[in-house]
Amino acid sequence: MNFGSSFGISASALTTQRLRMDVISSNIANAETTRASVVDGKAVPYKRKLVVLEATQSDKFSNILHSKMNGSPEGVKVQSIIEDSSPLKPVYNPSHPDADANGYVYMPNVDITKEMVDMLSASRSYEANVTMLNATKAMVSKALEIGR
């Protein structure tokens, strides 16, 4: 592996972790949103979003050989952003404008504690990749000093 691919791998990881933190922030911001969209004249609560990541590797031998010879970076990329399929939380509040006939309001399926744990994980992953990027940069700098 050359230094260029190290930078590319770190850059792809930084980009994906930043997007992951953005999606988590959106989940936290919409934790009480009961009118995220309207379907058939009815308000639909916000649904938690999740980021699905995948490795950027090729399965074909020729592509792998070509990427190794040219130093093309591998890394990680966002496969998709999906909605969490867990059920919405019914809360009894008959005075709420979005309450149904039984007095229940359906709140988003966002758990703030879970989101904060995910945010901490994404933040630590981001920090680890910044540290790796800085270590690679220091190694390149030291390698250049050898020739002096």
Beta strand residue intervals within the chain, DSSP E: 37-39, 42-44, 49-55, 76-83, 89-92, 104-107
Position 2 confidence tier, pLDDT thresholds 50, 70, 90: low
Average pLDDT over residues 127-142: 91
- Confidence band (pLDDT; 50, 70, 90) for 125? very high
Percent of the chain scoring above 90 in pLDDT: 57
- For the chain, percent of residues with pLDDT exceeding 70: 86
Q: How far apart are CA 117 and CA 99, in angstroms?
A: 31
Question: Residue 71 pLDDT > 80, yes or no?
Answer: no
Among 81, 105, 85, smallest CA distance to 95 is for 105
Contact 51, 66 (CB under 8 A): no
pLDDT band at 87 (very low <50, low <70, confident <90, very high): very high
4-56 pLDDT, tens digit each = 678 888 888 999 999 999 999 999 999 999 988 888 878 889 999 999 998 88
Q: What's the pLDDT tens digit per position in 90-109? A: 999 999 988 889 999 999 99
Please report, for the chain, the start and end positions of each structural domain, with discontinuous segments joined by +. Answer: 3-146
Q: Are 127 and 11 in contact (CB under 8 A)?
A: no
The pLDDT value recorded for residue 70 is: 62
